[in-house]
Structure 1
Amino acid sequence: MEIISKCPVCKGSGKVPRELPFGANPKAPTTRADKAGIKACPNCQGSGSIGIKK
């Protein structure tokens, strides 16, 4: 039985933009959003799909 669909959080890519910590200055050179990078999706653990594989 396979019930697999695209992850709604990352839309199947497996990666989401890294978020700034609460209270961080977005204009500071070390915490700029463009330098934050990307990380693996916490919902699908980077696979891009969610569901039951059996």
Structure 2
Amino acid sequence: MIQMKYENPQMEAYFNSLPPKVRAFINRSRAEISSPGELMLIGEHFRNSFGETDGNP
């Protein structure tokens, strides 16, 4: 599986703080996310959709 890497340290830190299910979904989507705000919108949407409120599966 392709692992998302962000050159922006803020984006990388936020991505790594997301629950594993959310990170896996973003990785599988291969979406081109270009800003911290965009990543946060996507991350929070899927965090809520998956019922993930913290870093635990």
TM-score (ref. length: structure 1)? 0.21
State the structure with bigger RCO (CA 8 A, min sep 6), 1 or 2.
Answer: 1
TM-score (ref. length: structure 2)? 0.21
- The structure carrying a bigger helix percent of its residues is 2
